[in-house]
Amino acid sequence: MWAPQYPEGLEMKIWYNTLTGEVRTISALNHYIGMRTIEPSMFPEFGYISYIIGFIIVFGLASVIVNKRFMLISFLGLILATGFGALIDFYLWGYDYGHNLNPEAPIKIEGMSYQPPLIGTKQLLNFTAFSGPDIGGWIFIGVGVLLFGLLVYEWKKINDMKYFNFGFLLLAGSLIISCSTEPEQLNYGTDVCHFCKMTLMDNKFGAELVTKKGKIYKFDDIRCFINYYNSGNDDPYDFQHALVIDYLNPGKLINAFDAFYVKSTEIRSPMDGQAAAFETKASMSKFKKEWKGIYLAWGELVTQYK
């Protein structure tokens, strides 16, 4: 603290087990306003603070050895609890020291109390008092800041890992979907024929090719289907699925290699392919007779549009 008569200032340091500095001078000055003499015996904390500091050091070393996140959080909690506890304890001591004054003091100012500042400066009569942490306090604060920084780092690492995991799952899901070789239903009215670029409209006709890499080609007519199949753009051995629509079950895709085909000029297909596919031979035979057509197996069908 400073005053006009003490321009160089008076200093008192509180250690973990004693007091140093101009304690006698400060106590003598405080005597005029009724404050008690400052002595180490006023602080029972000096008897056990060393154990608290020792426990904190051991706990910190244990946190390093265990190297677990819960130990980091616990250690930070211990540092914060100890710090707040010390501040509260010092505030209560200062309140008692600054308010419980000797009524026989030479200088008495009605209603005046002289509680020292907890942290920072405070004007007490003609003295400017300052209170703040010294080396030990700053080390304590530094440890707390370091632990908080480590906790923020861990939190960011966890969240980054979550984002990484989410991104990885999203990417893996995309790859799985993109690599799927499962056929798709033909969407009439929206899908476009890969060969003639016309919109699929008649659900009694249509076909689909699915490559082993999952690429899907849709067609509105057996003519377009066979023309693309024979085009050489893709090796026939690269197709995982070759499918055609069963004429009797509109929209239903069946295996093109096993289907039964009828070719007839009576068949009005979208691109005049004049061919229809059936899942069963009985169905094919019925319509073959009705349309006065000819029966074609897969091997014969692929030669019809060359």
Query: Which pLDDT score, from 0 to 100, does residue 236 have?
Result: 84
Please give the structure tokens belonging to residue 249: 């079950």
What is the three-class DSSP state of 231?
Answer: coil
Q: What confidence score (pLDDT) does residue 56 get?
A: 93
Rounded Cα distance between 103 and 273, Å, is 118
Name the amino acid, one letter, at 87: L
- The C-alpha atoms of residue 147 and residue 196 are separated, in whole angstroms, by 68
Give residue 306's pLDDT.
66
The pLDDT value recorded for residue 124 is 73
Q: What is the DSSP letter of 280?
A: S
User: What pLDDT does 158 receive?
Assistant: 78
The per-residue pLDDT string of the chain (306 residues; one tens digit each, 9 = 90 and over) reads 887 777 788 899 999 899 999 888 888 888 888 888 888 888 999 999 999 999 999 999 998 898 888 888 899 999 999 999 999 998 998 899 888 888 888 887 777 778 888 888 887 777 788 888 898 889 989 998 998 898 888 888 777 766 656 665 665 555 555 557 889 999 999 999 999 999 999 999 999 999 988 899 999 999 999 999 989 888 888 899 999 999 999 999 999 999 999 999 999 999 999 999 999 999 999 999 999 999 999 988 988 876
Q: So what's the pLDDT on residue 246?
A: 96
| pLDDT in the model for residue 28 | 85
Kindly list the distances between the CA atom of residue 15 and the CA atoms of 53, 207, 232, 238, in Å, as whole numbers in the listed order. Answer: 12, 89, 90, 83
Q: pLDDT at position 61, please?
A: 92
What pLDDT was estimated at residue 162? 64
With CA atoms as reference, report the closest residue to 275 among 294, 299, 253, 289. Answer: 294
Q: What percent of the chain has pLDDT over 70?
A: 93
The pLDDT assigned to 161 comes to 67
pLDDT tens-digit series, residues 2-22: 877 777 888 999 998 999 998
